[in-house]
Structure 1
Amino acid sequence: MYRSLESGSHNEEIKIDLVSIEKGLEEGSIIEIFPTEIDLKTGQRLRYFADHRSLENRFIKLFNGGVEEAENELANVQKISKANKHLSIVTPLSEYKKDGIIAVCYPFIDGVNLQLCFEQLKGTSELTQIAKEAIRQSSTLSVNSETIGLKDYVAAPKFLMGYPFSLDDFDGQIFSEINKAYLPFWILRRNICNAFPGYSLDRHSRNVLVGKDNTLHHIDFEVATKDSPFFDFVKIIRNGPDSTFSLSKAIWNDAIKYPKEFCYQLNPFTENEERELVEFFMHNRFPSYDGDTESFANVYEIVAAHTHLFYISKYLRRYSVAPSETKPIAEARLHYHIIGYLALADKLFQVNNLHGDLLKGVSNSVSVEQTLKLNSLVLELANNFIDQNAK
């Protein structure tokens, strides 16, 4: 069984100032475990270390820049941990701050991230079991966050207007045209948040770890956004692969013709399993929802398409600036989210067919013509990327 378990007590103090980190790197007792990552929204550089200086391994996350985001994570994780003692929230053991750099030492979790676990369990009955437990815990975290005064994530101004593609990062008419076409859908997004409000806490499938005892452990609470729990749900089950792959131009052309088939090949969940999880989320997080299941599923598909589009922007940026060792995974996730959006493009028309009092503010938010325009532009962007990058 996949379960929840309160984190154990860790009293041992570990020195994690910059001198001790550099010394540990020289000695080999501290090992950098991922390439340096640049958060393009904040400009901060993130580095991750495995610290083997004690009998219990430690994990060090170093923020260079983006101090506000780091301090949000420290404040939020403590509040969330206190409000959710029955869940395993990975909390800091110690921290170090100096000159715009924050290093945080966490207990090391021996296991894999949830996305990799999904991929390993694909085709087994355990897959939906662990997914439901992750959804249940994510919903619990969302509900319990309403009254504890979290530090809300505040995006940089260029990300606040609902534009998928910042023109500071993307140069080309296609990006400005997509931004313009997307504006009605940003209003649709807001209407969905009004209909299904609550916190999302970035509970995507790489921010949940599965320990060797099958306990789920939650990490990384830098982002807390009062919008809708729908976004955490989508990020759990449609976050993209943890492995790398590349598509030839011939396969890309087939993927664009048959995006739904390709999407479910890349997804750990079948279409039926995904629908089962949507219904589980509906009953678990919104038990008072009294509309029909089909309309709820349509809202999920609209949110998923929105999320895919913003992930296309994220991984297209990352693909364009990534060092060689991280470019393949950025490419694989970019491929997945392009195909994921195209697979749901027709579902955006369902906004005109939603039923139920709760969805009155959502239904008919965008016209057929506006949907056709956005879909054609995203398809054009996909074709442009294929022409320039596919082999």
Structure 2
Amino acid sequence: MNAVAEHLIHDADVDTHHRALRFLTAGSVDDGKSTLIGRLLFDSRAILADQLDTLEKRAAGAPIDLSLLTDGLEAEREQGITIDVAYRYFATKTRKFIIADAPGHEQYTRNMVTAAAGSDAAVVLVDITKLDTSVEAVELLPQTRRHSLLAHLLRVPSIVFAVNKLDALEQPGPAFAAVEKALRAFAEQAGIAVTAIVPVSALRGDNVTQPLAGEWATWYQGPSLLQVLESLPGVQEKVEGQVLIPVQYVARDTGETGEGTGHQPRTLWGRIAHGQIQAGDEIQILPSGERAIVAEVRRAGETVSHSVAGESAGVVLDRQLDVSRGDWIVTPGSAQPTQSFKATLAWLDTEPAVPGRKYWLRHGNRWVQGRISAIEHRLDIHSLQPLDAEQLNVNEIGHVQIEVQAALPVEPYASNRVGGSLIVVDPSSNRTSGALLVR
């Protein structure tokens, strides 16, 4: 085993390895994404007996079509493409996994963004049969670039490239080396930290769950794709520092607490974005700015000593404040609400994004009206250079200036996904039009 493999398998934090890994699979149409997921499910024995029996009868003695395990919608089977995000589950002896199967078609890029938002890793498939590996500088497909950039912009911690269909080439070794060189050059230019580049044959099963053997092993001695996935750390929210909780629900207690005092405590429920909270902490409610002391912390219906980032908690205050869904609980003075900020915008709507038009923006659990006050530039996914733009069309990425009607406690997305992300909704059609990542 080479040094890269040893680093991947042994070097990550042990605690994060025992957590279920949620990873996104992305790639262009017909790259073999559904077959790869089917292979992972098949080899890990995550297929029900009746499913396997149906596939075997359908194959009629031919090799089983593993892609049928994932393309569940009738429209997906008819068109031969993945349309909606589907979640699949499987486990090995050392790890549990949740697969977010995202569409590869450009038309459904918005679904890929949805899948990436909560993923610990992204597996980007590259179909080597679609690339000209005879030239010195291999040109990658636009969707490979787009999906990689989106995963990077959405702060997916680990990005893995799986170079597929090596079994279709007479000389897979030199071809893989050429594609690997192109992927590393692109990643360096885009500032993407690549976790691994792995050769696979999803159809035949080579290097998917088991390391390569035979002639392939003469030019690749790294880990299999599953070995890489088993080694990846899960996302660990920042538990140190300031607390940030988006209020999702306010519940009024109806028990004996407070009887005779005229005071019925309310519990402010939300998932802690970062930091930790315990009784006795001073907190501030935004946007009102009111302060209070935490009287009690609850989790799963019970009082607990404290709660940390990543957990859903209920907070009871020492006095009544006007708090509702969409407000934020923060450490006093830690957040500075603003009505203007810069962001990266991934546009997902067929109706272009134009400066001046009003949209609904959702930040945490709060809705506000806002507008794009200026488009600084859009990103050319081929050259990765900024280009002048008066509007952003579907699937384009740009840097913009945003103005909102009410001040929001936004944070840089690079430091916190919850405080630094917003979705953009068209007020006339109610379509999700874009994803904003605060810079």
Q: Give the TM-score taking structure 1 as reference length.
A: 0.27
Would you tell me which structure has more strand in proportion to its own residues? 2
Q: Which structure ranks higher in relative contact order (CA pairs < 8 Å, sequence separation ≥ 6)?
A: 1
Structure with max Cα Rg: 2
- Using the size of structure 2 for normalisation, the TM-score is 0.25
